[in-house]
Structure 1
Amino acid sequence: MELHVVINGRKDLAGQLYQQLRSAIESGRLAAGTQLPPSRLLAEQLSVSRKTVSDTYAQLTYENFLTGVIGKGTYVNARPAQIVRKQSHTQLASSAVIEYWRNMPDFLRHPALEGSLRYDFIGGATSKGQFPHDDWRRCTAHALRQIGGSKGFYSVPEGLPALRNAIARHIAFSRGVNCQDEDVVVCNGAQQALDLISRVLNQPGSRVAIEDPGYPPARLLFSSHGAEVVAVPVDEQGLVVEKIPDGTRMIYVTPSHQFPLGMPMSQARRVALLERAYELGAIIIEDDYDSEFRYEGRPTDSLQSLDERGIVAYVGTFSKTLLPELRLGYAILPPAILEAVIRAKQLTDRHTSTLPQWAMAKFIAEGCLLRHIRRCHAIYAGRRERLLARVATDLSPWLEAIPTDAGFHMVLLFKVPVDLPLLIELARKVEVGLYPLDPFYFREPSRLGLLMGFGAIETLDIDTALDRLRDILQQVI
């Protein structure tokens, strides 16, 4: 009797075989004690190499799904009875805390591969097709050699000296940040940098000011530390400084490319913000998440470059310039909080993995990062222009764009009333991913619009996606 396995195409043959055999065992279709065909026979049946089958059998044996009997063959193992743990979290003494985390909103979560859409305007994502695989592979090989020559000790919490030096040089060149190597702390993405700074500055009841609309994960993070989060409105010049309340000890802003609306903070407003923070004794967190991509006008320096008193903590990330999966970010910290943040980093995770650190240090030092940014800049500029052109022409009866000169997302506002949930649902049915603007508002009245990311969608797909959006708008309005 032949084992029923279906192989589609010629990609990831071992993965396909593994998933089907494991699923059959877990579902009981392959009962305990069932003998599997010899690897040579199954390979012939599926028209794959014998090594593919042998490697799959070995992996399933290692995971205790199969067992090999010398001289007899390979058999399905008896699976242990699943233990049903009946206790509910409501029975625990910490039930209130658990319930708080269970109910935490799931903002900006990227879909798994199988849940992704063909034409997705999701924000904060880049196109993997632009990633410089050959350069990164070479830098990773260098990283492995560095690790191979080490003594096997834990690394330093603030990050490898080589990467701290590379980061300091890069952001001084690209963003005008005033820093030395010792001011840099390497983190697992910008989100960890925000977490560490908040940990050392806040305690339950501390007042934190954020932009409204703004970045929900930052707001939720500060709230989880027990802070009183105060929403401060923004206008065409950025954060309205005079509305930052007394008693504030931390201010979170995105001055170079306000998230999500996109405008930069004016020079006058930046100066006023620095003065207000100094008056309050507060630290400003400057989240400079994607401003390396600027398309029009003069580049704006970082807020940190104007700081003469040591009150700005500059946070950056490689998730937007390279890949989110790398989970590499950094903070440029003023002396007042530097040592405290390093101690917090050491306590929470000791240090960021050194393999990507070594690779990134070489990647930056050899100029690969700047070349990649220049290449992507041209691609993102073309996508931005295409979006703006369509909004100005056949989509203009319904939509208008908020002007933005940087990053790889823009906000489109509706000119007419629309059932936005229905629009998003209909768009998903034709493989177009749209995302509403209202979740980014906290206290301020939300505006009816869409956040349109153009980092992940391919340039040639934009017109097709917008054609489908136009057709839906014609139907529902």
Structure 2
Amino acid sequence: MDVHLTIHGRHDLAGQLYRQLRTAILDGRLAPGERLPSTRDLALQIGVSRKTTLDVFERLSAEGYLRSRAGSGTFVAEATQGLAGRAPRVSPAAQIAAPAPATRTFTTPWNDMPDVLPTPRTGIVYDFVGGVTEKRLFPFDKWRSCVAHGLRLQARGRGAYHDPAGDQTLRLAISRYLAFSRAVVCAWGDIVVTQGAQQAIDLIARVLVRPGDTVAIEDPGYPPVRIALQALGANVVPVPVDAEGLVVDAVPPHAKLVYVTPSHQFPLGMPMSLARRAQLLDWAQRHGVLILEDDYDSEFRFDGRPMESLKSLDATGCVAYVGTFSKTIFPELRIGYVVPPASLLAPLQRAKQVADWHSESLMQAALAKFMLDGDFGKYLRRMHKEYAARREALLRHLRGPLAPWMMPVPSAAGIHMAARLHAPLREPAVLKLAESVGVGLYGTTRMHVAQPPLPGLLIGYGYVNVAEIDAGLARLAQALAKLAT
């Protein structure tokens, strides 16, 4: 055997020897049919016990790399012929660690997909990122008791998989909450719990959309949904929005699905008017199209009466209603839900089971108790007041010191607001300037697909309190004033 074996130290001797012999077989230095030294001779050569070499030979034989011939010795198995060249050649010292896999390039449409989330940046003091909630005011003392309750339930339960549709108690709590807050009347059995709204949307697309099917989305709109649909091979058609929401007359008649954010259009923020909602529902019924309603942060409404969800107006079963706790509690919770039409309930449950069997059960049990004990409602009322104050602070700046450079887009709900930049300001320049003074702002241009993008900002206020809003936007106004001089 013309292979150099090196043992370093006295740690993991069998592992070191196993990895070096296996690598030598895989890269062809030990050819099929080649005879190896006896376990006794090899042990003497490299300075280990015979038990170590015996253990290694037995493991390699069990895995098919070696075979023994009675009275002749141990040989590299002929079956390794096709494996030669699959492992990279590395130095003996590097062989102490597990060999690196051979490199190969795989082509996938995901390589060409744009980034979904904003890239984290250093030096940001006041971060106006959207979709992030205020954890500093969350009642973690109550939450700890709810988690402890969930642990007690798990300790008493069987070590088994759970219902793919989710914890029954949580689904009951969600059904009661939706009936009260969104006028969505459903039984607990009509709900499927998911890993956030993103999985709910993905599951709906998987059970309904086939490659080549046309899907309509808002333009501008939520990039992750567009990316997920494109990855499934759908023909994604961007449809413009106006002051009343999605322009229904521009939706292609052969669409299989229409994705909308009617309560708080993403990213611009305006609600879909009641007349436009009725028009969309009538259009979907006549064309046999599913409406995917993403009601991502409608809990926080600050002006006027609450707008009806599309699901609450749906009399024919053409709306799949998606909600999430990411914008009410915090994104790390990863719990969302969907209330689909009855015909899609069983397919969605099967798709959920195939995807991950069921969402994490401990957090489901904790959230169920948090909701049924009334703590969730109390927290929402508290945060409604807090976010209302932040929104007012933001508007004071946009209508005051920042008015020469930007204008807020009318919005009555949610935890972010959009603003249009006045010409000749350009979005990249404003973002770079803001970053230079420690203010994190995010543009809306990348959220447009076909419509000519208007330079603008998506300004989130879930992560910054009133004092931080005042300080951050004062910095921004000073920097913009210097830019203009």
CA distance in 2, matches of 1:469, 1:164: 45
Q: Name the amino acid aligned to 1:357.
A: Q
CA distance in 2, matches of 1:417, 1:155: 57
- Compared CA separation, residues 358 and 419, structure 1 to 2 (3 A): same
Matched, 1:228 2:235: yes
* Secondary structure in 2 matching 1:338: helix
| Structure-2 residue corresponding to 1:380 | 387
* Secondary structure in 1 matching 2:463: coil
| Structure-2 residue corresponding to 1:104 | 113
CA distance in 1, matches of 2:458, 2:430: 14
- Compared CA separation, residues 286 and 32, structure 1 to 2 (3 A): farther
Q: Larger deviation: 424-433 or 356-365?
A: 424-433
- Tell whether the 8 Å contact from 2:190 to 2:339 is kept in structure 1 after alignment: yes
Q: 1:88 aligns with which of 104, 118, 121?
A: 104
| Structure-1 residue corresponding to 2:307 | 300
Paired residues in the alignment total 395
Superposed, 1:2-401 pairs within 5 Å as 80-81=96-97, 83-89=99-105, 95-97=106-108, 100-109=109-118, 111=120, 115=122, 117-401=124-408
CA distance in 2, matches of 1:331, 1:141: 27
Q: 1:463 aligns with which of 444, 452, 470?
A: 470
* Secondary structure in 2 matching 1:186: strand
CA distance in 2, matches of 1:184, 1:438: 35
**TM-score normalised by length of structure 1:** 0.80
> Offset at 1:476?
2.5
| Structure-1 residue corresponding to 2:415 | 408
> Offset at 1:426?
2.7
> Offset at 1:80?
4.0
> Offset at 1:79?
10
| Structure-2 residue corresponding to 1:417 | 424
Question: What do you get for the CA RMSD once the two structures are aligned?
Answer: 1.9
Q: Larger deviation: 250-259 or 416-425?
A: 416-425
Aligned residues with identical type, % of pairs: 48
| Structure-2 residue corresponding to 1:68 | none
- Tell whether the 8 Å contact from 1:208 to 1:248 is kept in structure 2 after alignment: yes
* Secondary structure in 2 matching 1:450: strand
CA distance in 2, matches of 1:288, 1:116: 33
1:305-325 deviation digits (Å, cap 9, x = unpaired): 000001100000000000100
- Tell whether the 8 Å contact from 1:423 to 1:472 is kept in structure 2 after alignment: no
- Compared CA separation, residues 144 and 119, structure 1 to 2 (3 A): same
Q: Name the amino acid aligned to 1:267.
A: L
Q: Name the amino acid aligned to 2:103.
A: Q
CA distance in 2, matches of 1:158, 1:366: 22
Q: Name the amino acid aligned to 2:117.
A: L
Q: 2:436 aligns with which of 423, 429, 432?
A: 429
| Structure-1 residue corresponding to 2:84 | none
- Tell whether the 8 Å contact from 1:313 to 1:334 is kept in structure 2 after alignment: yes
**TM-score normalised by length of structure 2:** 0.79
1:385-412 deviation digits (Å, cap 9, x = unpaired): 0111111111111111011100010011
1:371-394 deviation digits (Å, cap 9, x = unpaired): 111111111101110111111111
Q: Name the amino acid aligned to 2:338.
A: A
> Offset at 1:472?
1.8
- Tell whether the 8 Å contact from 2:325 to 2:331 is kept in structure 1 after alignment: yes
CA distance in 2, matches of 1:304, 1:249: 18
> Offset at 1:140?
0.2
1:260-308 deviation digits (Å, cap 9, x = unpaired): 1111111111111011111221110000000100001011111100000
Q: Name the amino acid aligned to 1:275.
A: D
> Offset at 1:237?
0.5
Q: Name the amino acid aligned to 2:326.
A: S
* Secondary structure in 1 matching 2:442: coil
CA distance in 1, matches of 2:122, 2:195: 25
| Structure-2 residue corresponding to 1:64 | none
